[in-house]
């Protein structure tokens, strides 16, 4: 089975984001990066499919040259091959999806896996866009998946905790949500393999962004709050404030 | 070009609340641009949408939309985006909207401004503002052509002006056999359970509530009672979800759901930056924590210093009294 997993390098979730002087990007100093959280469930899903059905997991990443670190982490977890589509700028989901789709077209692929959302840009769009560009079925926010006989049974999380069940023919695009699996940490053998793996680098074949950034700004500041009181004595005053001052009850 | 096309999601044939919010946002934006909001209803009833701000209503019905299909819905929306020549295409960022609108935008060869909290016009062009990094920053974007955007639940109000809208059927140019992915079955969640991302009031529990399988059992029951008293959805911090105390669908934060209810009550949550990122867009935040130095108090409008064991049941009782009185 030929498995392609698309990953993204993103600031870690404890990063403090401050707009930079150009007003369009964030201040890069002091930011640590990692594989965007949900992409780890996609990597794990790919490795589990390989373990069950044999085959190969190729990890594909569009990003800056520094993303080699995240790509190697994916190898260390158990992916077999790695490609980095180099683009140094912050690109939107449309540009990213086009670059990924153009490359995936040239690779054998029975299933293409994504994290359901990125922790930085948070568009939750790239996987579905790639599916549309490649003319493949897509199921997003998967929390359960079984693959057999060239098809996949997938459950996705819908509104109000409901689960929608799909049966799709492969090849297909699936975006992965927490709950699909528990992702593994790299072991020593994986880390050694990652050191030896050649990461194929090529320029990303991306068009202009579909939506362009006018400005990146800090969120509107919140007004100073107050401590209403201590313990259960404070609850009636809190309820009064919610009712009469904040008018939310 | 000045018209705004708005996808209307339906549940059991009726428009959902967030779809009416998107229609409200669309009608206000269309007025600013000099056009009208065109409501596109798929698999439901468009009868009353003029009263909710639509200047025109399109209804797609029939076998092809009996069951939800991401590629099927995407085709209908992309086709109508082209046919109407709308300058802006909107949908609510619900689990369905997030799923297929990205496909539809790609089909229309457009980008997507996802999960927006503000729409405006600058220099005659529509601009969408969206939280990124779970609300640690706001990104203002525009598109070279048609602007596609999904809108965060509860960030926009419904329309207040009623229009006399004409209803037209949509001709669907495909049949179900050409669809790539179709819902086969829907497994119900907990009956009547509100989704944290869509609820107007959220009550969230953190590590301070302790293990529900052990000494925290009563605390979580108390939290459920509090949520029932005020019609709230129950959310949870990452620590609680990682510990397996609550399902991951309840998680609020950068790796969970980003919420913007009118009232968010954080109980026993210290306020890690990734949690604050997910809920600081709430209109009013209440924090209950025994540690008066907990970071959650920095973003809270109102705080009570105290244990969840003592404060949560007392608060439920106070709400019950107040709501009856």
Q: Residue B205's domain is classified under what CATH number?
A: 3.40.50.1220
Residue of B nearest to A223 (CA): B301
Q: Compute the mean pLDDT over every residue in chain A, rounded to the nearest whole number.
A: 96
CA-based torsion, B70, B86, A100, A178: positive or negative: negative
Is B191 inside a domain boundary?
Answer: no
Chain A residues whose beta carbon lies within 8 Å of the beta carbon of residue B112: 93-94, 123, 125, 129, 210-211
The closest alpha carbon to B71, from A138, A130, A154, belongs to A138
Please give the C-alpha separations between residue A24 and each of A212, A246, B114, in angstroms, as whole numbers: 10, 34, 17
Give residue for tokens 């992916």.
Answer: A79
Which of the residue ranges A11-15, A206-210, B113-117 would you say has the lowest mean pLDDT?
A11-15
Does B314 reside within a domain?
yes
Candidates A225, A226, A230, A233, partner chain B, best to mutate (most B CBs within 10 A): A225
Q: What is the mean pLDDT of residues A206-221?
A: 95
Say whether both B36 and B171 belong to one domain: yes
Residue B230 near residue B201 (C-beta atoms within 8 A): yes
Q: Mind listing the pLDDT tens digit for each residue in B126-136? A: 999 999 998 89
Percentage, residues of chain A above pLDDT 90 = 94
Q: Does B323 touch chain A (CB under 8 A)?
A: yes
Containing structural domain, residue B244: 201-324
Name the 3-class secondary structure at A7.
Answer: strand
Q: Is B262 on the interface with A (CB under 8 A)?
A: yes
Give the separation between CA B131 and CA B113, rounded to whole angstroms: 10
Give the C-alpha separation, B67 to B118, whole Å.
32
Question: For residue range B4-24, what is the model confidence (pLDDT) as tens digits?
Answer: 999 999 999 999 999 999 999
In a domain, B22, yes or no: yes
- State the residue range of the domain holding A166: 2-203
Domain identity same for B45 and B172: yes
Picking from B297, B300, B302, B296, the residue whose alpha carbon sits closest to that of residue B315 is B302
Q: Which of A66, A2, A9, A3 is nearest to A39 (CA)?
A: A9
Within this chain, do residues B106 and B221 fall inside the same structural domain, yes or no? no
Q: How confident is the model at residue B190 (pLDDT cuts 50, 70, 90)?
A: low
Question: Is A208 within the bounds of a domain?
Answer: no
| Residue B185, in any domain of the structure | no
- A215 found inside a domain: no
Contact criterion met (CB < 8 Å) for B103 and A210: no
User: Is A237 a member of any domain?
Assistant: no
CATH number of domain containing A58:
3.40.50.620
Q: How many domains does chain B have?
A: 2
DSSP element (H, E) containing B29? helix B17-33
pLDDT per residue as tens digits for the range B240-287: 999 999 988 899 998 889 898 999 999 999 999 999 989 998 999 999
How high is the pLDDT of residue A117?
A: 96
B158 pLDDT band, cuts 50/70/90, is very high
CA distance A132 to chain B (A): 6
**Among partner residues A138, A158, A243, which is closest to B181 by beta-carbon distance?**
A138
Distance from C-alpha of B286 to C-alpha of A170, rounded to nearest angstrom: 48
| Cβ–Cβ < 8 Å for A125, A101 | no
Q: Are residues B32 and B70 in the same domain?
A: yes
Q: Are residues B93 and B39 in the same domain?
A: yes
Beta bridge partners of A58: A4, A81
Highest mean pLDDT among B39-53, B89-103, B271-285: B89-103
> Domain for residue A229, yes or no?
no
Same domain for B92 and B211? Answer: no
CA distance A198 to chain B (A): 31
Nearest alpha-carbon partner for B87 in B25, B37, B17: B37
pLDDT band at A221 (very low <50, low <70, confident <90, very high): confident
Residues of chain A contacting B193 with CB distance shorter than 8 Å: 160-161
**Alpha-carbon gap: A70 to the closest alpha carbon of chain B (Å):** 18
Confirm whether A153 is domain-assigned.
yes
Phi-psi label, residue B72: left if phi above 0, alpha if psi -120 to 50, beta otherwise = alpha
Residues B35, B137, single domain; the answer is yes
**According to the model, what pLDDT value does residue B173 have?**
87
Count how many domains chain A has.
Answer: 1
Tokens 């990063």 map to which residue? Answer: A15
User: Which of B70, B185, B186, B75 has the alpha carbon at shortest distance from A139?
Assistant: B70
- The owner of tokens 């009726």 is B14
The whole-number pLDDT of residue B189 equals: 73
Q: What was the pLDDT predicted at A191?
A: 96
Residue B324 confidence class, pLDDT cut points 50, 70, 90: confident
How many contacts (CB atoms, under 8 Å) link A and B? 293
Please judge whether B137 and A165 are an interchain contact, meaning their C-beta atoms are less than 8 angstroms apart: no
Half-sphere CA count of A119, side-chain side, radius 13 A: 28
Residue A234 lies in a domain: no
Indicate if the pLDDT at residue B211 is higher than 60. Answer: yes
The pLDDT of residue B47 is: 80
The answer to whether B128 touches B140, Cβ cutoff 8 Å, is yes
With CA atoms as reference, the chain A residue closest to B18 would be A159
Q: Tell me whether residue B193 is in a domain.
A: no
Give residue B134's pLDDT: 86
pLDDT (0 to 100) of residue A222: 84
- Whether residue B97 contacts residue B43, with contact meaning beta carbons closer than 8 Å, is answered with no
In the predicted structure, residue A239 carries a pLDDT above the cut 60: yes
In a domain, B184, yes or no: no
Q: Are residues B291 and B154 in the same domain?
A: no
Among the partner residues B274, B284, B311, nearest to A13 by beta-carbon distance: B274
Percent of chain B residues topping a pLDDT of 90: 86
Whether residue B252 is found in the same domain as residue B221:
yes
* Structural domain contains residue A228: no
B66 CA to centre of own chain? 23
The answer as to whether A192 is a domain residue is: yes
User: What DSSP assignment string belongs to A176-192?
Assistant: E-TTS--PPPP-HHHHH
CA dist A162 and A192 (Å) reads 42
- Three-class DSSP category at B7: strand
Last residue of a domain, one of B134, B163, B178: B178
Angstrom CA distances, B264 to A142, A176, B227, B234, stand at: 28, 28, 11, 10
pLDDT of A96: 98
CB-based contact B98 A137, cutoff 8 Å: no
Q: In what order do the strands lie in the sheet with B233-236?
A: A226-230, B302-305, B284-289, B263-267, B201-205, B233-236
Q: Residue A224: what pLDDT?
A: 83
HSE-CB for A190 with a 13 A CA cutoff:
15
Asked whether B76 and B65 are in contact (CB, 8 A), the reply is: yes
Domain CATH for B159 = 3.40.50.620
**Beta carbons within 8 Å of B77's beta carbon, 6+ residues apart:** B5, B7, B40, B42, B89, B91, B100, B101, B104
Stretch B278-300: mean pLDDT = 95
Tell whether B186 lies on the interface with A, counting CB pairs under 8 A.
yes
- Token pair in block for residue A148: 């057999």
Contact B186 A164 (CB under 8 A): yes
A60-107 confidence digits (pLDDT tens): 999 999 999 999 999 999 999 999 999 999 999 999 999 999 999 999
- Mean pLDDT (chain B) is 94
In a 3-state reduction of DSSP, which class is residue B68? Answer: coil
B309 shares a domain with B174: no
Q: Specify whether B68 is located in the same domain as B134.
A: yes
pLDDT tops 60 at residue B191: no
Per-residue pLDDT at A120? 95
Burial state string for A95-125 with b = 16 or more CB within 10 A and e = fewer than 16: bbbbbbbbbbeeeebbbbbbbbbbbbbbbbb
Q: Which residues of B touch A166 (CB under 8 A)?
A: 181-184
Closest-approach residue (CA) in chain B for A25? B139
> Do B247 and B318 share a domain, yes or no?
yes
CB atoms within 10 A of CB A218: 11
Q: Tell me the mean pLDDT in the region B149-174.
A: 93
Q: How far is B166 from chain A (nearest CA, A)?
A: 30
Mutation site, B11, B94, B111, interface A, largest A CB count within 10 A? B111
Among B99, B252, B285, which would you mutate to test the A interface (most chain A Cβ atoms within 10 Å of its Cβ)? Answer: B99
Tell me, yes or no, whether B71 lies in a domain: yes
Q: Are strands B118-122 and B125-132 parallel, antiparallel or unpaired?
A: antiparallel
CA distance A193 to A196: 5
> HSE (CB half, 13 Å, CA atoms) of A98?
19
Name chain B contacts of A26, Cβ cutoff 8 Å: 133, 137
Taken in order A174, B89, B138, B304, the sign of the CA dihedral is: negative
Tokens (6 digits) for B117: 């909290």
Tokens coding B129: 């503002």
Domain assignment present for B171? yes
Residue B323: what pLDDT? Answer: 83
The H-or-E segment that residue B58 falls in is strand B56-60
Tell me how far apart the alpha carbons of residues A8 and A42 are, in angstroms, rounded to a whole number.
Answer: 11
pLDDT at B131: 94
Q: Which residue of B has its CA nearest to A164?
A: B186
pLDDT band of residue B175 (cuts 50, 70, 90) is: confident
């Amino acid at each position: 089975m030929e498995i392609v997993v698309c990953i993204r390098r993103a600031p870690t979730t404890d990063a403090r984001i401050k707009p930079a002087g150009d007003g369009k990007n964030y201040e890069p100093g002091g930011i640590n990066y990692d594989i965007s959280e949900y992409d780890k469930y996609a990597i794990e899903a790919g490795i589990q499919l390989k373990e069950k059905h044999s085959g190969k997991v190729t990890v594909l990443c569009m990003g800056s040259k520094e993303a080699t670190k995240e790509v190697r982490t994916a190898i260390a977890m158990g992916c077999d091959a790695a490609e980095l589509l180099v683009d140094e700028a912050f690109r939107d989901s449309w540009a990213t999806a086009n670059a990924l789709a153009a490359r995936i077209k040239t690779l054998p692929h029975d299933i293409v896996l994504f994290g359901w959302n990125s922790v930085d840009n948070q568009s939750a769009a790239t996987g579905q866009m790639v599916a549309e560009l490649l003319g493949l079925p897509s199921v997003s926010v998967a929390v359960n998946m079984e693959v057999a006989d060239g098809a996949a049974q997938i459950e996705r999380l819908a509104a109000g905790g409901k689960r929608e069940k799909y049966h799709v023919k492969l090849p297909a695009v699936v975006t992965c949500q927490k709950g699909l699996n528990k992702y593994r940490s790299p072991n020593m053998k994986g880390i050694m393999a990652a050191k030896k793996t050649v990461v194929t680098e090529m320029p990303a074949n991306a068009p202009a962004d579909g939506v362009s950034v006018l400005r990146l700004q800090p969120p509107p500041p919140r007004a100073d709050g107050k401590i209403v009181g201590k313990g259960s004595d404070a609850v009636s005053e809190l309820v009064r404030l919610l009712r009469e001052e904040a008018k939310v009850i | 070009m000045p018209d705004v096309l708005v996808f209307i999601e339906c549940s059991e044939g009726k428009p959902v609340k967030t779809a009416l919010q998107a229609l409200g946002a669309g009608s206000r934006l269309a007025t600013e641009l000099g056009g009208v909001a065109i409501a596109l209803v798929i698999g439901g009833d468009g009868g009353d949408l003029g009263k909710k701000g639509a200047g025109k209503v399109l209804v797609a019905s029939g076998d092809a939309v009996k069951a939800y299909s991401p590629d099927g819905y995407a085709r209908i929306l992309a086709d109508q985006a082209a046919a109407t020549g709308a300058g802006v295409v909107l949908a609510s960022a619900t689990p369905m909207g997030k799923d297929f609108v990205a496909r539809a935008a790609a089909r229309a060869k457009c980008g997507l401004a996802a999960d927006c909290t503000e729409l405006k016009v600058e220099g005659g062009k529509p601009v969408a503002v969206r939280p990124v990094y779970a609300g640690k920053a706001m990104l203002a974007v525009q598109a070279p052509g048609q602007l596609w955007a999904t809108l965060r639940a509860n960030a926009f109000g419904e329309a207040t002006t009623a229009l006399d809208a004409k209803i037209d059927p949509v001709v669907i140019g495909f049949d179900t056999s050409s669809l790539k992915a179709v819902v086969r079955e829907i497994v119900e969640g907990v009956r009547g359970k509100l989704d944290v991302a869509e609820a107007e009031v959220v009550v969230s529990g953190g590590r301070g509530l302790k293990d529900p399988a052990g000494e925290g059992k009563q605390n979580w029951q108390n939290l459920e009672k509090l949520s029932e008293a005020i019609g709230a959805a129950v959310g949870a911090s990452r620590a609680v979800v990682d510990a397996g105390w609550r399902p991951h669908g309840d998680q609020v934060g950068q790796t969970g759901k980003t919420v913007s209810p009118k009232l968010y009550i954080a109980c026993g949550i210290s306020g890690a930056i990734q949690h604050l990122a997910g809920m600081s867009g709430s209109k009013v935040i209440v924090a209950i924590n025994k540690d008066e130095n907990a970071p959650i108090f920095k973003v809270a409008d109102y705080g009570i210093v105290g244990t969840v064991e003592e404060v949560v049941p007392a608060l439920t009782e106070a709400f019950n009294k107040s709501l009856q009185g």
